[in-house]
Protein backbone atom coordinates (compact mmCIF):
# COMPACT_ATOMS: atom_id res chain seq x y z
CA UNK A 1 0.00 0.00 0.00
CA UNK A 2 1.14 3.55 -0.75
CA UNK A 3 1.59 5.84 2.27
CA UNK A 4 -0.74 8.77 2.86
CA UNK A 5 0.29 12.05 1.23
CA UNK A 6 1.49 13.62 4.48
CA UNK A 7 3.78 10.62 4.99
CA UNK A 8 5.48 10.83 1.59
CA UNK A 9 9.00 12.22 1.89
CA UNK A 10 10.34 11.50 -1.60
CA UNK A 11 8.51 10.95 -4.88
CA UNK A 12 10.43 9.66 -7.88
CA UNK A 13 9.40 10.71 -11.36
CA UNK A 14 10.41 10.49 -15.00
CA UNK A 15 9.13 10.87 -18.54
CA UNK A 16 9.89 8.33 -21.25
CA UNK A 17 9.00 7.26 -24.76
CA UNK A 18 10.35 4.44 -26.97
CA UNK A 19 12.92 3.43 -24.35
CA UNK A 20 13.42 -0.18 -25.40
CA UNK A 21 13.46 0.67 -29.09
CA UNK A 22 16.25 3.20 -28.53
CA UNK A 23 18.22 1.22 -25.92
CA UNK A 24 17.47 3.24 -22.79
CA UNK A 25 18.02 1.38 -19.48
CA UNK A 26 14.63 2.53 -18.22
CA UNK A 27 14.09 -0.40 -15.89
CA UNK A 28 17.46 0.05 -14.17
CA UNK A 29 16.88 3.80 -14.01
CA UNK A 30 13.64 3.44 -12.06
CA UNK A 31 14.90 0.55 -9.92
CA UNK A 32 17.99 2.53 -8.91
CA UNK A 33 16.06 5.02 -6.77
CA UNK A 34 12.97 2.93 -5.99
CA UNK A 35 14.26 1.84 -2.53
CA UNK A 36 14.25 5.42 -1.16
CA UNK A 37 11.09 6.81 -2.78
CA UNK A 38 7.55 6.31 -1.51
CA UNK A 39 6.06 6.49 -5.00
CA UNK A 40 7.33 6.70 -8.56
CA UNK A 41 5.37 8.50 -11.29
CA UNK A 42 6.07 7.74 -14.96
CA UNK A 43 4.77 9.91 -17.81
CA UNK A 44 4.79 7.30 -20.58
CA UNK A 45 4.47 8.83 -24.03
CA UNK A 46 2.78 7.32 -27.06
CA UNK A 47 5.40 4.72 -28.01
CA UNK A 48 5.78 3.08 -31.41
CA UNK A 49 4.24 -0.33 -32.00
CA UNK A 50 7.63 -2.04 -32.00
CA UNK A 51 8.57 -0.57 -28.62
CA UNK A 52 8.04 -2.41 -25.30
CA UNK A 53 8.67 0.26 -22.68
CA UNK A 54 5.39 -0.39 -20.86
CA UNK A 55 6.16 -4.10 -20.51
CA UNK A 56 9.69 -3.32 -19.31
CA UNK A 57 8.39 -1.04 -16.56
CA UNK A 58 5.73 -3.55 -15.57
CA UNK A 59 8.45 -6.17 -15.02
CA UNK A 60 9.56 -4.17 -11.97
CA UNK A 61 6.32 -5.28 -10.31
CA UNK A 62 6.16 -2.56 -7.66
CA UNK A 63 3.02 -0.95 -6.27
CA UNK A 64 5.03 2.25 -5.84
CA UNK A 65 4.92 2.83 -9.60
CA UNK A 66 2.11 4.81 -11.18
CA UNK A 67 2.02 5.19 -14.97
CA UNK A 68 0.37 8.15 -16.70
CA UNK A 69 -0.19 7.62 -20.43
CA UNK A 70 0.48 10.76 -22.47
CA UNK A 71 0.59 11.89 -26.10
CA UNK A 72 3.52 13.98 -27.30
CA UNK A 73 2.84 17.16 -29.26
CA UNK A 74 6.07 18.32 -30.89
CA UNK A 75 4.36 21.08 -32.84
CA UNK A 76 2.95 22.75 -29.74
CA UNK A 77 6.18 22.18 -27.78
CA UNK A 78 9.08 22.54 -30.29
CA UNK A 79 12.86 22.70 -29.87
CA UNK A 80 13.02 20.02 -27.21
CA UNK A 81 10.49 21.70 -24.88
CA UNK A 82 8.15 18.70 -25.16
CA UNK A 83 10.68 16.93 -22.92
CA UNK A 84 10.13 19.60 -20.27
CA UNK A 85 6.36 19.49 -20.76
CA UNK A 86 6.29 15.72 -20.28
CA UNK A 87 8.54 16.03 -17.24
CA UNK A 88 6.13 18.54 -15.71
CA UNK A 89 3.19 16.19 -16.34
CA UNK A 90 4.87 13.57 -14.15
CA UNK A 91 6.07 16.14 -11.60
CA UNK A 92 2.59 17.56 -11.12
CA UNK A 93 1.28 14.13 -10.07
CA UNK A 94 3.88 13.69 -7.32
CA UNK A 95 2.85 14.00 -3.67
CA UNK A 96 6.16 13.94 -1.80
CA UNK A 97 7.95 16.80 -0.03
CA UNK A 98 10.94 16.15 -2.30
CA UNK A 99 10.74 15.09 -5.95
CA UNK A 100 13.57 12.95 -7.35
CA UNK A 101 13.82 13.32 -11.13
CA UNK A 102 15.65 10.63 -13.05
CA UNK A 103 15.97 10.56 -16.82
CA UNK A 104 15.65 7.22 -18.58
CA UNK A 105 19.39 7.03 -19.36
CA UNK A 106 20.45 7.96 -15.82
CA UNK A 107 21.09 5.56 -12.94
CA UNK A 108 22.02 6.12 -9.28
CA UNK A 109 24.48 3.76 -7.59
CA UNK A 110 23.07 2.05 -4.51
CA UNK A 111 26.03 3.28 -2.43
CA UNK A 112 24.64 6.83 -2.60
CA UNK A 113 21.07 6.08 -1.49
CA UNK A 114 21.54 6.40 2.31
CA UNK A 115 23.21 9.81 1.98
CA UNK A 116 20.52 11.05 -0.40
CA UNK A 117 17.69 10.01 1.88
CA UNK A 118 19.45 11.44 4.93
CA UNK A 119 19.86 14.83 3.24
CA UNK A 120 16.17 14.87 2.33
CA UNK A 121 15.24 14.08 5.92
CA UNK A 122 17.55 16.63 7.52
CA UNK A 123 16.60 19.54 5.23
CA UNK A 124 12.92 18.79 4.63
CA UNK A 125 11.77 21.76 6.74
CA UNK A 126 14.45 24.20 5.58
CA UNK A 127 12.44 25.98 2.91
CA UNK A 128 15.43 28.02 1.74
CA UNK A 129 16.65 24.81 0.12
CA UNK A 130 14.78 24.26 -3.14
CA UNK A 131 16.76 21.32 -4.46
CA UNK A 132 19.83 19.09 -4.45
CA UNK A 133 22.74 19.17 -6.87
CA UNK A 134 24.44 15.98 -8.12
CA UNK A 135 27.77 15.27 -9.78
CA UNK A 136 27.73 13.52 -13.15
CA UNK A 137 29.69 10.67 -14.67
CA UNK A 138 29.16 10.53 -18.44
CA UNK A 139 29.95 7.11 -19.91
CA UNK A 140 30.96 7.02 -23.56
CA UNK A 141 30.93 4.20 -26.09
CA UNK A 142 31.15 1.36 -23.59
CA UNK A 143 30.95 0.79 -19.85
CA UNK A 144 34.68 1.19 -19.28
CA UNK A 145 35.20 4.77 -20.44
CA UNK A 146 33.77 8.09 -19.34
CA UNK A 147 34.21 11.72 -20.39
CA UNK A 148 35.57 14.46 -18.16
CA UNK A 149 35.48 17.61 -20.27
CA UNK A 150 34.62 21.28 -20.27
CA UNK A 151 32.27 20.37 -23.12
CA UNK A 152 30.02 18.40 -20.75
CA UNK A 153 27.94 19.52 -17.77
CA UNK A 154 29.54 18.25 -14.57
CA UNK A 155 26.63 18.92 -12.17
CA UNK A 156 22.86 19.19 -12.35
CA UNK A 157 19.75 19.45 -10.18
CA UNK A 158 17.92 16.15 -9.77
CA UNK A 159 15.93 16.59 -6.55
CA UNK A 160 13.54 19.52 -6.18
CA UNK A 161 11.13 20.68 -3.51
CA UNK A 162 7.46 20.02 -4.29
CA UNK A 163 6.63 23.62 -5.15
CA UNK A 164 4.09 24.37 -7.90
CA UNK A 165 6.23 27.30 -9.09
CA UNK A 166 9.17 25.02 -9.85
CA UNK A 167 9.11 23.69 -13.40
CA UNK A 168 11.21 21.68 -15.77
CA UNK A 169 13.11 24.14 -17.96
CA UNK A 170 14.06 24.30 -21.64
CA UNK A 171 14.69 20.70 -22.78
CA UNK A 172 14.29 19.16 -19.32
CA UNK A 173 17.94 19.13 -18.38
CA UNK A 174 17.24 21.25 -15.31
CA UNK A 175 14.64 23.20 -13.30
CA UNK A 176 13.72 26.82 -12.62
CA UNK A 177 11.22 28.61 -10.44
CA UNK A 178 8.74 30.24 -12.82
CA UNK A 179 5.94 32.13 -11.03
CA UNK A 180 2.73 32.50 -13.06
CA UNK A 181 4.00 30.05 -15.67
CA UNK A 182 1.70 29.79 -18.69
CA UNK A 183 2.38 26.08 -19.20
CA UNK A 184 3.67 26.66 -22.73
CA UNK A 185 6.93 28.57 -22.96
CA UNK A 186 9.45 26.25 -21.32
CA UNK A 187 12.27 28.15 -23.04
CA UNK A 188 11.49 31.51 -21.44
CA UNK A 189 14.27 33.32 -19.63
CA UNK A 190 12.47 36.38 -18.27
CA UNK A 191 10.81 35.97 -14.88
CA UNK A 192 12.55 32.67 -14.25
CA UNK A 193 14.69 32.16 -11.16
CA UNK A 194 17.55 29.79 -10.40
CA UNK A 195 16.91 27.37 -7.56
CA UNK A 196 18.76 27.54 -4.26
CA UNK A 197 20.39 24.13 -3.97
CA UNK A 198 22.66 22.09 -1.75
CA UNK A 199 25.42 19.93 -3.18
CA UNK A 200 24.94 16.30 -2.26
CA UNK A 201 27.75 13.75 -2.13
CA UNK A 202 26.38 11.56 -4.91
CA UNK A 203 26.73 11.08 -8.65
CA UNK A 204 24.37 10.39 -11.48
CA UNK A 205 25.69 7.72 -13.85
CA UNK A 206 24.71 8.86 -17.34
CA UNK A 207 24.55 6.08 -19.96
CA UNK A 208 22.99 8.10 -22.78
CA UNK A 209 26.03 7.68 -25.01
CA UNK A 210 26.46 3.94 -24.47
CA UNK A 211 24.53 2.16 -27.22
CA UNK A 212 25.22 -0.04 -30.20
CA UNK A 213 26.63 2.38 -32.81
CA UNK A 214 23.72 1.92 -35.20
CA UNK A 215 21.17 2.67 -32.46
CA UNK A 216 23.26 5.60 -31.25
CA UNK A 217 23.01 7.21 -34.67
CA UNK A 218 19.29 6.43 -34.90
CA UNK A 219 18.71 8.04 -31.51
CA UNK A 220 20.60 11.19 -32.61
CA UNK A 221 18.47 11.54 -35.73
CA UNK A 222 15.23 11.06 -33.79
CA UNK A 223 16.26 13.59 -31.15
CA UNK A 224 17.10 16.11 -33.85
CA UNK A 225 13.61 15.49 -35.23
CA UNK A 226 12.13 16.28 -31.81
CA UNK A 227 14.08 19.53 -31.70
CA UNK A 228 14.03 20.71 -35.32
CA UNK A 229 11.50 18.63 -37.26
CA UNK A 230 12.00 15.54 -39.41
CA UNK A 231 13.01 17.39 -42.58
CA UNK A 232 15.71 19.42 -40.84
CA UNK A 233 16.98 16.29 -39.07
CA UNK A 234 17.17 14.49 -42.40
CA UNK A 235 19.15 17.37 -43.90
CA UNK A 236 21.58 17.48 -40.98
CA UNK A 237 22.35 13.78 -41.17
CA UNK A 238 22.07 13.09 -44.89
CA UNK A 239 25.85 12.72 -45.27
CA UNK A 240 26.41 10.93 -41.99
CA UNK A 241 27.04 7.24 -41.66
CA UNK A 242 24.22 5.07 -40.33
CA UNK A 243 26.72 3.85 -37.72
CA UNK A 244 27.83 6.30 -35.03
CA UNK A 245 31.59 6.72 -34.67
CA UNK A 246 32.56 7.15 -31.01
CA UNK A 247 36.11 8.19 -31.93
CA UNK A 248 39.26 7.56 -29.96
CA UNK A 249 38.26 6.11 -26.60
CA UNK A 250 41.89 5.69 -25.52
CA UNK A 251 42.04 9.36 -24.51
CA UNK A 252 39.11 9.04 -22.10
CA UNK A 253 39.06 8.21 -18.40
CA UNK A 254 39.00 4.53 -17.46
CA UNK A 255 36.21 3.49 -15.09
CA UNK A 256 37.74 1.27 -12.40
CA UNK A 257 34.82 1.03 -9.98
CA UNK A 258 31.62 -1.02 -10.02
CA UNK A 259 28.51 -0.04 -11.92
CA UNK A 260 25.18 0.10 -10.08
CA UNK A 261 23.87 -3.39 -9.30
CA UNK A 262 20.64 -2.69 -11.21
CA UNK A 263 22.69 -2.29 -14.41
CA UNK A 264 24.07 -5.84 -14.27
CA UNK A 265 21.63 -7.44 -16.72
CA UNK A 266 21.67 -4.47 -19.08
CA UNK A 267 25.47 -4.44 -19.23
CA UNK A 268 25.45 -8.15 -20.09
CA UNK A 269 23.98 -7.20 -23.46
CA UNK A 270 27.14 -5.28 -24.43
CA UNK A 271 28.25 -6.82 -27.73
CA UNK A 272 29.60 -3.98 -29.90
CA UNK A 273 33.19 -3.75 -28.69
CA UNK A 274 34.40 -4.82 -32.14
CA UNK A 275 32.64 -1.77 -33.63
CA UNK A 276 34.51 0.71 -31.43
CA UNK A 277 37.96 -0.07 -32.86
CA UNK A 278 39.45 1.10 -35.09
CA UNK A 279 38.01 4.55 -34.56
CA UNK A 280 37.13 5.99 -37.94
CA UNK A 281 36.18 9.61 -37.20
CA UNK A 282 34.73 9.75 -40.69
CA UNK A 283 32.95 13.11 -40.68
CA UNK A 284 33.63 15.24 -37.58
CA UNK A 285 35.30 15.36 -34.23
CA UNK A 286 33.17 15.17 -31.14
CA UNK A 287 33.01 18.31 -29.04
CA UNK A 288 35.20 16.89 -26.27
CA UNK A 289 37.84 15.94 -28.88
CA UNK A 290 38.32 19.53 -30.07
CA UNK A 291 41.54 21.31 -29.15
CA UNK A 292 39.82 24.21 -27.37
CA UNK A 293 37.96 21.92 -24.99
CA UNK A 294 40.97 19.71 -24.42
CA UNK A 295 42.98 22.73 -23.24
CA UNK A 296 40.18 24.02 -21.02
CA UNK A 297 39.65 20.56 -19.56
CA UNK A 298 43.35 20.13 -18.81
CA UNK A 299 43.48 23.43 -16.92
CA UNK A 300 40.29 22.66 -14.98
CA UNK A 301 41.31 19.15 -13.96
CA UNK A 302 44.98 19.83 -13.20
CA UNK A 303 45.04 23.41 -11.92
CA UNK A 304 41.53 24.26 -10.72
CA UNK A 305 40.55 21.14 -8.82
CA UNK A 306 37.93 20.16 -11.38
CA UNK A 307 36.08 23.49 -11.30
CA UNK A 308 34.89 24.54 -14.72
CA UNK A 309 35.92 27.90 -16.20
CA UNK A 310 33.17 30.42 -17.01
CA UNK A 311 30.44 27.83 -17.46
CA UNK A 312 27.02 29.24 -16.64
CA UNK A 313 25.48 27.55 -13.61
CA UNK A 314 21.76 26.97 -13.52
CA UNK A 315 21.57 27.15 -9.72
CA UNK A 316 22.51 29.12 -6.62
CA UNK A 317 24.70 26.96 -4.40
CA UNK A 318 24.01 27.11 -0.66
CA UNK A 319 26.28 26.00 2.13
CA UNK A 320 24.20 23.76 4.38
CA UNK A 321 25.12 20.85 6.60
CA UNK A 322 23.38 17.56 5.89
DSSP per residue, 195-231:
EEEEEEEEEEEEEEE-S-HHHHHHHHHHHHHHHH-HH
The answer as to whether 221 is a domain residue is: no
Provide the β-strand partners of residue 99.
11, 160
The answer as to whether 308 is a domain residue is: no
Separation of alpha carbons 285 and 301, rounded Å: 21
> Per-residue pLDDT tens for 175-199?
999 999 999 999 999 999 999 999 9
The pLDDT value recorded for residue 284 is 64
The pLDDT value recorded for residue 1 is 45
Average pLDDT of span 246-267: 94
| Number of domains the chain contains | 1
The answer as to whether 36 is a domain residue is: yes
Residue 254 has pLDDT above 60, yes or no: yes
Residues above pLDDT 70, as percent of the chain: 95
CATH of residue 45: 3.90.550.10
What range defines the domain where residue 22 resides?
Answer: 5-209
The answer as to whether 56 is a domain residue is: yes
Most confident of 129-138, 293-302, 305-314: 129-138
The answer as to whether 181 is a domain residue is: yes
Q: Please check whether residue 150 is in contact with residue 297, taking contact to mean a CB–CB distance below 8 angstroms.
A: yes
Provide the β-strand partners of residue 253.
146
- What residue spans of 112-229 are helical by DSSP H? 113-122, 213-228
Average pLDDT of span 30-45: 98
The answer as to whether 169 is a domain residue is: yes
pTM here?
Answer: 0.94
The answer as to whether 197 is a domain residue is: yes
Q: Please check whether residue 266 is in contact with residue 25, taking contact to mean a CB–CB distance below 8 angstroms.
A: yes
Query: If 0-12 CB within 10 Å is exposed, 13-18 middle and 19+ buried, where does residue 268 land?
Result: exposed
Most confident of 140-144, 231-235, 285-289: 140-144
The answer as to whether 291 is a domain residue is: no
Average per-residue pLDDT in the chain? 91
Q: Please check whether residue 28 is in contact with residue 260, taking contact to mean a CB–CB distance below 8 angstroms.
A: yes
Amino acid sequence: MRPDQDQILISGFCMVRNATKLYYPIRASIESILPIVDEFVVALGNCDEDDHTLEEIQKINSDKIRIIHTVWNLEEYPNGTEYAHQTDIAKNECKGKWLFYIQSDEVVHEKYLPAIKHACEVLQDDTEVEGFLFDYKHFWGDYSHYVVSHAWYDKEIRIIRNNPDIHSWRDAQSFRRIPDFDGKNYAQKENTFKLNVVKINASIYHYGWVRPPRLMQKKRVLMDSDYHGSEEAKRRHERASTVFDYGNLSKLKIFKEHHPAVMKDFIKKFDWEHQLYPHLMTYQKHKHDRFKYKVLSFVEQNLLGGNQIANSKNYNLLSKKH
